[in-house]
Amino acid sequence: MRLQPIYDIAELCARHGIREAILCPGSRCAPLTLAFSRHQEIRCRTISDERSAAFIALGIAQQTNMPVALICTSGSAAYNFAPAIAEASLQEISLLILTADRPREWIDQWDGQTIRQNNIYGNHVKKSFDLPEDCSHPDSVWYINRVTNEALILTQEFPKGPVHINIPLREPLYPSANEKIIFTKNIRSIGVNQPKLVLSESDKNSLIKILSRSTNVLLIAGQQDFDQELAKAVNEFCKVNQAVLVGDVISNYHALPDTIRYADVFLSACSEAIKKALKPDLVITFGKSVISKNLKQFLRSFSPAQHWHIQPTGISADTFQSLTQIIHCDPLSVFKSLSDSITIDKSQLIKKEKYTQRWKKEEQRTQLSSSRYFSESSFNELSILKEIISSLPKRCNLHVANSMSVRYANLIGLTEKNKGVQVYSNRGASGIDGCTSTAVGHALSSDVPNILITGDLAFFYDRNAFWHNYSIPNLNIVVVNNGGGIIFNLIDGPDQLEEKDQYFITEQKLSAVHLANEFGFHYQRIETPKKLKPSLKDFFGVGQKTNIVEIISDQESGKKAFNKFKEQIKKGYES
């Protein structure tokens, strides 16, 4: 058949482990749509809004830890994938993007749905390939097979990420009446052996030498999925070396008992003298980004003598402006190897323990001040979110949207009791555009409750996350509706401008009830403390349909509550 190499792209995807595909409607992509939808090993869903579709695919890939195929027609449809591709790139999530295109001779000829799609995603994909228009010549068949194999291998190699194949297709695009779409049985699928990256003996000895003479050792866990074996190794490393572990809410290290969870809170309130006492000699980082601006500023001002970052390959970000060593190994093997090999004399261990106790003291002080605030707090959006987070199911996914939602979640924090809670947030590009769609992707591909905490602007911006034909009864959404982007009322700068309401906060008067009615979701509105606890009883878990709780707040009360929280933390340093 003329399009056999194109149909076989679906077969190669299945051979490389792809089990999920998101298809966006269109005509130019018909050969791809038919191939994927008729492949028995790939589950296909169709999403009309390409921007939302791409974030849903991202959520599925993140949840399943497997690549997802993402397919669209030619023209602006491909551009609408771009925000999610940027997020997938920065979060290192595997996506295979297949964009249908017009034949090259029709580019810039005013033909319908035709734009310049070559390398359309720039540096936000690991690589972009263009297939030939001719699918019949043996060299073309070989090339299409080779490129597809390469793309599928590349998207799963560390660092994982999106890979793009642009596919120009000539008409006819649809099979004839009697034509069957089949897949080549003996198709070539290229495998790859991933090397195990472990420390050499000489490198290990070199690191141990530095580690043994470093009194103040600080570990920072960046954004990552929870890995029980790695967490166990990190915990053992910290015990052996009396090292401090800092992990904010998106690190998923709340399950470890000694994790410093509130560094962002107390580093904004404590004195320069305390910060000086907390200064590390050695910082060891693993994972991706951290939320805390205060932690970043602290480490940029009080730079460690050594900063190691552990990742299997590639160049690392120098977030704290102090990077001295990139350790190209699997973090699990590094922490295990260093824990098993190091011996620390008693006098050095006592010094290390003093450093650990300094961090624990600030953590405990903050926990006490935070508990006092919430015990005395009136009804406001921060106290409501505290109640919701404290009532999470033992096993669930917690999604936090960008802007204030993720910051609220970080200052409220999770504890050891929440060890079955996995936290997700689009903290790669940190945009509000696909937060809901990403949560929808998780809900479509998981059997646990998925709880999304989001603000009104992020929620209404991404309302097409629900514009499809798939039920998501395991998705529960908390919308904090305070009439706009409250963060611009809280950060220094815009809060003093007379233009803030119109041009920064962007006041709005929408209610989630209309969206709930439109899509047939269950809806509850909370604007008084009496309604809160009865509503929460029915909120968590998996019911028959998506559940939305809308918390009605306002800019002024939200600002007062947040400022009062900060004042309470500062009081802890005055008493």
Closest CA to 74 of 106, 42, 39: 106
Element containing residue 249 per DSSP (H, E): none
List, for the chain, all residue ranges whose pLDDT scores fall below the cut of 70. Answer: 485-505, 530-531, 533-535, 537, 541-542, 575
Count of all residues that appear for the chain in the document: 575
pLDDT (tens digit, 9 = 90+) per residue, 150-173?
999 999 999 999 999 999 999 898
Predicted local confidence at residue 244, as pLDDT: 97
Tokens of 153: 């291998």
Domain positions in the chain are 4-168, 201-368, 377-571
Q: Does residue 476 sit in helix, strand or coil? A: strand
Q: Is CATH 3.40.50.970 what the domain over 4-168 is classified as, yes or no?
A: yes
Give 486's contacts (C-beta < 8 A, 6+ positions apart).
Answer: 404, 455, 505, 555, 558, 559
Fold match between domain 201-368 and domain 377-571: yes
Q: How far apart are the first and last CA of the chain?
A: 80
Instruction: Determine contact, residues 48/221, Cβ cutoff 8 Å.
Output: no
Query: Could you tell me where the DSSP H helices lie in 214-260?
Result: 228-241
Nearest alpha carbon to residue 127 among 91, 168, 160: 160
Cα separation, 148 vs 4, in Å, equals 14
pLDDT of residue 209: 92
Q: List pLDDT tens digits, range 287-301.
A: 999 999 999 999 999
pLDDT for res 330: 94
Within 8 A by CB and 6+ apart from 282, the residues are 210, 211, 214, 216, 217, 218, 304, 305, 306, 307, 308
Cβ-contact 246, 221 below 8 angstroms: yes
Which residues make Cβ contacts (< 8 Å) with residue 390, sequence separation at least 6? Answer: none
Question: Could you say which of 2.170.120.12, 3.40.50.970, 3.40.50.300, 3.30.2290.10 is the CATH number of the domain covering 377-571?
Answer: 3.40.50.970
In this structure, what token pair is assigned to residue 520?
């047939």
* pTM of the complete model: 0.94
What residue has token string 């690392």?
316
In 342-434, alpha helices (H): 346-376, 381-390, 404-412
Round to whole Å and give the CA distance between 36 and 81. Answer: 19
In our burial notation (b when 16+ CB lie closer than 10 A, e otherwise), range 365-385 reads bbbebbeebeeebebbbbbbb
The distance from CA 101 to its chain's CA centroid, rounded to whole angstroms, is: 30
Question: Contact 256/233 with Cβ under 8 angstroms?
Answer: no
Sign, CA dihedral 315-321-326-330, equals: negative
Q: Please give the CATH topology (third level) of the domain spanning 201-368.
A: Rossmann fold (3.40.50)
Q: In what helix (H) or strand (E) does residue 393 lie, and over which residues does it extend?
A: none
Residue type, 19: R
The pLDDT of residue 107 is: 86
CA 46, CA 323: separation in Å to the nearest integer? 44
Q: What is the pLDDT of residue 378?
A: 80
